[in-house]
A and B are shown apart, each in its own frame.
Chain A
Amino acid sequence: MGTRIESLPRSCQADRLMVTIKTGTHLPTRAGALNGVIVPEQPGKNAIEVRGVRKVFGTGENQVAALDTVSVSIRENEFFTLLGPSGCGKTTLLRLIAGFDFPTAGEILLHGQDIAPLPPYKRPVNTVFQSYALFPHMTVAQNIGFGLEMLGKPKAEIEARVAQMLKLVKMEALKARRTSQISGGQQQRVALARALAPQPKVLLLDEPLSALDYKLRKEMQIELKRLQHETGITFIFVTHDQEEALTMSDRIAVMSAGKILQVGTPRDIYDRPAERFVADFIGETNFLPGTVVSKQGGVATVKFASSATISAGYPEGFDPTGEVTLVVRPEHADLVADPAKGTIAGTLSNIVYFGTDTHYHVKLDGGDNFIVRHQNSRSSPVTYATGAKVGIQFEEDAARVLKD
């Protein structure tokens, strides 16, 4: 997966917009936090509250804790992403919320009510499956109407809602087709419409874009954001794709080995990772080993092998001592021609051109490697040659000491 972080143009949204749903009810929808903008920690109402949930599979010696005492709150109307590598427990958490599995311990609250013991058909929560799971013996329209039919809605209401859903996902023309007669992208839209039709309190999406090709995936990312804004439904989105998570989410929970490591806005997660794993999993990062010399007011002074020292912040609740690792994002550092002017110094070992930007690989005087990313512009004034002695400059708040 690419690790490039692009600044995509984002459409500005009104703070609140009203969407009229066919039934005549007005659903207020928050436009959602604009990506990259930090949303103030507002208590808000929680759509889902996961409290101390554990899930253990197997018995005896084969016991595996897929979820190790996880707690997280997901707000109403939020686009919330569970991000992590495969096997981190994100799909398990989604299945517990959907009701396909039951937690070994803990509570799952939906608008304050514990739903953990309820079977899936009693939860006002719908799922978009990774494989879509469309019913092959039914038409597109029958698939979309299935949930409403099971809820015992009157026929006229079902027809009206199905028509509205077909329009929402732009599938009116194909409503009479069998699901095997439509393309993967179209199946994806039907799966979305089917899950949205009963107007669930929360929509769960289990890596729904992973089967699509790159271009279609990009389109569907925008489409999903649009649907979330228009319906005002809370989305819980599971993915292992950090780029997808950063571009789409209001907030992200980064998971690893059955635990949630950090919850925050995309910018929080990217700029202020709480742990080394988070920094490593999301984007590219330079890791520099060093020793803490002193600490004062949330800033630690760290000494490197080259005997250079740096001041760096660290996450709240973490007390760095002794041997630590410092992280600096490649694009948060600059190259300077005079080694003495840099925060640290080294020798330029390699220059890799990427079109939009250039990566400078620097062998630090202490022996570690460091990558500086420089965005290319029409007039890049300075050109460097490999083998040159250079300095690397970065702001104090660009460097962070993290827990391993």
Chain B
Amino acid sequence: MAEPRVMDIKDQPGFRSIAIICLLVLYIPVLILMIFSFNSGSLVTHWEGVTLNWYGSAFLNEEFHSAAKNTLIISVTATIVSTICATLAAIGMTRVKPWRGLAAAFMIINLPLMVPEIITAVATLSFFALIAGTLGLNFGIGNLIFAHTVFCIPFAYMPIRARLEDMDLTLEYAAADLYATPWNAFKRITLPLLVPGIMSGAALAFIVSFDDFTITQLVAGPGQTTLPLYIWNQIRRPMTPEINAISTILLLVSILFVSVSFLIARRRAK
């Protein structure tokens, strides 16, 4: 059957080759990094043979363990807290009567996305230094959790707000019409339908926190090395494929996390 001819970008000359080049540029370095994690030689640039030794030594590496533990504590806590804050903010900005300063509040929530991260990092560092200096308070790893939570909020906020705005408001009217109090309507209708948005928001917050370097580097105190910081410290020494193995593990954790949240979101959206 003849399909009606519509403009199809795939028919444009050069579309295919440009797409392929883009994909190659994106993924070849990652692929090379992963391949060299199996290199039996001790150089990351010279291939000698296949081995799993680097994974073995990574798993036995105490410093790696401690960095991984710090990273998980920080990013999981930051993800949970920032997603809750972002959900409340999104509801407060889409399910209420328009109030004065609504546009300003939206700007303020999203501004951190526009501010260069190094500025946020310096500001956060000065802020904690001020608290430590004047009040004599230091929250240890709490500082990092706090900093991560704050910069994760706009990332979590975006997909949650988008989902709330797409949602048919009539559903909430229908719930109220069927004797659901505002709390019941939220619990039974809005929240279940919002789950895909919350999952995407949480996944984004987790990834952003998991691989944050700039802010963590400035704020982290002694013994608060996270995985990105650990990798950074390692490559300043002569590099071995152990770094490649660690990076590959990180990559797999990220992919796993995003896939799980994507699957949950898709199942819920049906």
Residues in A with CB closer than 8 Å to B270 are 178, 180
B170 and A121 contact, CB distance less than 8 A: no
Alpha-carbon distance between A136 and B194 when the two chains are bound, in angstroms:
12
- How many chain A residues sit at the interface, stated as a range, is 20 to 34
Residues in B with CB closer than 8 Å to A137 are 192-193, 268
With A133-B168, A133-B173 in contact, do A198 and B179 touch (Cβ < 8 Å)? yes
Which residue of chain B has the shortest Cβ distance to A126 in the bound complex? B177
Which residue of chain A has the shortest Cβ distance to B193 in the bound complex? A137
CB interface residues, A 341-383, toward B, < 8 Å: none
Residues in A with CB closer than 8 Å to B138 are none
Asked if A277 lies at the interface with its beta carbon under 8 angstroms from chain B, I say: no
CB interface residues, B 168-196, toward A, < 8 Å: 168, 170-171, 173-182, 184-185, 188-189, 192-193
CB interface residues, B 45-78, toward A, < 8 Å: none
B13 to chain A, nearest CB (A): 41
B177 and A98 contact, CB distance less than 8 A: yes
B170 and A133 contact, CB distance less than 8 A: yes
A146 and B192 contact, CB distance less than 8 A: no
Residues in B with CB closer than 8 Å to A147 are 178-179
Residues in B with CB closer than 8 Å to A135 are 171, 174-175, 189
With A131-B168, A135-B189, A137-B193 in contact, do A100 and B173 touch (Cβ < 8 Å)? yes
Alpha-carbon distance between A287 and B174 when the two chains are bound, in angstroms:
44
With A133-B168, A135-B189, A137-B192 in contact, do A121 and B174 touch (Cβ < 8 Å)? no
Asked if A119 lies at the interface with its beta carbon under 8 angstroms from chain B, I say: yes
A110 to chain B, nearest CB (A): 14
CB interface residues, B 131-182, toward A, < 8 Å: 168, 170-171, 173-182
Residues in B with CB closer than 8 Å to A122 are 179
B180 to chain A, nearest CB (A): 5
A166 to chain B, nearest CB (A): 17
| Residue among B174, B184, B185, B268 making CB contact with A133, cutoff 8 Å | B174
With A121-B181, A137-B192, A137-B193 in contact, do A146 and B175 touch (Cβ < 8 Å)? yes
A127 and B193 contact, CB distance less than 8 A: no
A198 and B178 contact, CB distance less than 8 A: yes
Which residue of chain A has the shortest Cβ distance to B176 in the bound complex? A120
With A131-B168, A194-B178 in contact, do A136 and B193 touch (Cβ < 8 Å)? yes
Alpha-carbon distance between A312 and B170 when the two chains are bound, in angstroms:
49
Asked if A151 lies at the interface with its beta carbon under 8 angstroms from chain B, I say: yes
B128 to chain A, nearest CB (A): 43
CB interface residues, B 221-266, toward A, < 8 Å: none
Residues in B with CB closer than 8 Å to A133 are 168, 170-171, 173-174
Asked if A394 lies at the interface with its beta carbon under 8 angstroms from chain B, I say: no
A129 and B184 contact, CB distance less than 8 A: no
Alpha-carbon distance between A121 and B173 when the two chains are bound, in angstroms:
9
Of B171, B178, B182, chain A has the most CB atoms within 10 Å of the CB of B178
| Residue among A100, A151, A178 making CB contact with B179, cutoff 8 Å | A151
Asked if A8 lies at the interface with its beta carbon under 8 angstroms from chain B, I say: no
Asked if A1 lies at the interface with its beta carbon under 8 angstroms from chain B, I say: no
Of B174, B184, B270, chain A has the most CB atoms within 10 Å of the CB of B174
Alpha-carbon distance between A135 and B174 when the two chains are bound, in angstroms:
9
Alpha-carbon distance between A194 and B188 when the two chains are bound, in angstroms:
16
Alpha-carbon distance between A134 and B177 when the two chains are bound, in angstroms:
12
Residues in A with CB closer than 8 Å to B182 are 121
Which residue of chain B has the shortest Cβ distance to A181 in the bound complex? B270
Binary per-residue interface labels of chain B (77-94) against chain A in the complex, 1 for a CB within 8 Å, 0 otherwise: 000000000000000000
Which residue of chain A has the shortest Cβ distance to B181 in the bound complex? A121
Asked if A173 lies at the interface with its beta carbon under 8 angstroms from chain B, I say: no
B176 and A131 contact, CB distance less than 8 A: no
B202 to chain A, nearest CB (A): 19
Asked if A150 lies at the interface with its beta carbon under 8 angstroms from chain B, I say: yes
Of B170, B179, B181, B268, chain A has the most CB atoms within 10 Å of the CB of B179
With A150-B184, A151-B179 in contact, do A129 and B174 touch (Cβ < 8 Å)? yes
Alpha-carbon distance between A125 and B193 when the two chains are bound, in angstroms:
25
A81 to chain B, nearest CB (A): 20
Residues in A with CB closer than 8 Å to B176 are 99-100, 119-121
Residues in A with CB closer than 8 Å to B192 are 137
A360 to chain B, nearest CB (A): 45
Residues in A with CB closer than 8 Å to B173 are 98, 100, 120, 127, 129, 133
| Residue among A136, A146, A178, A180 making CB contact with B178, cutoff 8 Å | A146
A121 to chain B, nearest CB (A): 5
Binary per-residue interface labels of chain A (162-206) against chain B in the complex, 1 for a CB within 8 Å, 0 otherwise: 000000000000000010100000000000001100100000000
Alpha-carbon distance between A178 and B268 when the two chains are bound, in angstroms:
13
B183 to chain A, nearest CB (A): 10
Which residue of chain A has the shortest Cβ distance to B184 in the bound complex? A150
A127 and B177 contact, CB distance less than 8 A: yes
Residues in A with CB closer than 8 Å to B171 are 133, 135-136
Residues in A with CB closer than 8 Å to B268 are 137
Alpha-carbon distance between A99 and B171 when the two chains are bound, in angstroms:
15
With A135-B174, A137-B193 in contact, do A121 and B179 touch (Cβ < 8 Å)? yes
Beyond known contacts A129-B174, A137-B192: 8 more, CB 8 A cutoff: A99-B176, A99-B177, A120-B173, A121-B180, A125-B177, A126-B177, A133-B173, A146-B180
Q: Please provide the 10 A-B residue pairs with the shortest distance between their CB atoms, ordered closest to farther.
A: A147-B178, A133-B174, A150-B179, A133-B170, A120-B176, A150-B180, A127-B177, A121-B179, A121-B176, A137-B192
A interface residues, Cβ below 8 angstroms from B: 98-100, 119-122, 125-127, 129, 131, 133-137, 146-147, 150-151, 178, 180, 194-195, 198
B interface residues, Cβ below 8 angstroms from A: 168, 170-171, 173-182, 184-185, 188-189, 192-193, 268, 270
| 20 A-B residue pairings within 8 Å (CB atoms) | A98-B177, A120-B173, A120-B176, A121-B178, A121-B185, A125-B177, A127-B174, A129-B170, A131-B170, A133-B168, A133-B171, A134-B174, A135-B189, A136-B171, A146-B188, A150-B179, A151-B179, A180-B270, A195-B177, A195-B178
